[in-house]
Amino acid sequence: MGRDEGISHQPHGDLELCEAGVRTYTEALRAGRLPRSALEPAPCLTELALVHPDPQDDGWIRPVPPSSALAHLLQPVTREIHERIRLSAALADALAPLASVATTDPDHAITVLEGLPLIDTAIENALVNTREEVLTLQPGGTGQEEERLSKALGRALAMAERGVSLRHIYQHPARYNPPIKAYLEEIPPGNIQVRTIEQTAERLIVFDRTVALIPASANRDAALEIRHPALVRYLVQVYEVLWAQAMPLTSPLQPPAHDTPITATQLSVARLLVEGNTDQIVARKLGISVRTCRAHIARLMHTLDATSRTHLGALLVQSGVMEPTR
């Protein structure tokens, strides 16, 4: 037993052997029996029933033959396998007959698209079959990726050649975004209409009012492709409501109807601040960066000579810029 000195028992799974256990069990098989003290570094041998007391001398232990031990240890595993097979067969028997009931009509489907390449492929496939109209809702406005806009321009020009009309809803900051302005200038005016809105929902694309794509994750690396007519119809109705509220890109944003020198964007920031939103939430709702949002707040405070944000809210209400909160 001297060669096992220094080997201690290490935590492991219920059906595993540690190094000390393997060595002790091996020595027991070779010697036929070992003193009970030999189990101190390998209590797992007793837990796994790999040894038993010597019937002639309680101070010694004898090993159980490996074949007998294996059969004993595999019994619960075998029972679990049989139970899982039984459950699988039961599920198959219950659900297989329903396959003939389920519709195979692709117009009644919601498909989860994982990964940007798969989403791009779905968009390309939908565009190929589009003949009349594409509706898009594009939240944000200052962080549009040039690569995405370049890809979108190629698609838009291809659709314009086929006579497909485009309608885009952006947020107000898009009016001042050079890449977006360059994108819009390349598309024939007769094929595109653009409006902007203060706040909007998540990204949405609808093709010929039959297929819609919406994000399925916060970072937009997954999407839902919706072909269910009722769901697509509902999304189109939401889009039309936002379209009616949005301002045409060719129309200037209206400044506040009072004498306070506040811009339309600052008015939007002020409205959300008075509602109790944080800088981060205001920025997200308006499609601007937090830094830009805070710059607008600083200008508001300077314009109204406010000493704090609480004071700013009171001055906004006092000046008639904002209605008092209830």
Q: Which residue has the higher pLDDT, 114 or 318?
A: 114
By 3-state DSSP, what share of the chain in percent is helix, strand and coil, each rounded to 5? 50, 15, 35
DSSP-based three-state secondary structure for 268: helix
CA distance 172 to 299: 18
Q: Which amino acid is at 29?
A: L
Residue 108 tokens, joined: 């009644």
259 in the Ramachandran plot: left (φ > 0), alpha (ψ -120 to 50) or beta?
Answer: alpha
Report whether pLDDT(103) > 60.
Answer: no
- Residue that has been written with the tokens 């975004």 in this structure: 177
- pLDDT mean across residues, the chain: 80
Residue 185: predicted pLDDT: 86
Q: Quote the percentage of the chain above a pLDDT of 70.
A: 83
Q: What is the pLDDT of residues 149-203, one digit of tens each?
A: 788 888 888 888 899 999 999 888 778 778 888 888 888 888 899 998 877 678 8
Q: Are 45 and 21 in contact (CB under 8 A)?
A: yes
Q: Which of 49-58, 130-139, 249-258, 303-312 has the lowest mean pLDDT?
A: 249-258
Residue 1: predicted pLDDT: 45
Report whether pLDDT(107) > 50.
Answer: no
Residue 15 tokens, joined: 């059906």
Report whether pLDDT(261) > 50.
Answer: yes
HSE, side-chain direction, 13 A CA sphere, residue 80 = 5
Chain-centre distance for alpha carbon 265 = 30
Q: With bands split at pLDDT 50, 70 and 90, how would you rate the model's confidence at 35?
A: very high
32 burial type by CB count under 10 A (0-12 exposed, 13-18 middle, 19+ buried): exposed
Residue 292 tokens, joined: 């830009």
CA distance 110 to 124: 17
Which pairs count as long-range contacts for 77-82, CB under 8 Å and 24+ apart, including other chains? 77/15
Residue 286 tokens, joined: 């308006």
Q: With bands split at pLDDT 50, 70 and 90, how would you rate the model's confidence at 4?
A: very low
Q: Are 211 and 113 in contact (CB under 8 A)?
A: no
Report whether pLDDT(288) > 70.
Answer: yes
- Residue that has been written with the tokens 């800088």 in this structure: 279
CA distance 59 to 282: 77
Please indicate, yes or no, whether the overall pTM of this predicted structure exceeds 0.85.
no
CA distance 281 to 273: 9
Which uninterrupted H or E stretch holds 226? strand 222-226
Residue 12: predicted pLDDT: 65
CA distance 115 to 223: 8
CA distance 243 to 245: 5
Q: Are 20 and 9 in contact (CB under 8 A)?
A: yes
For 9, which DSSP code? -
Residue 178 tokens, joined: 């050079």
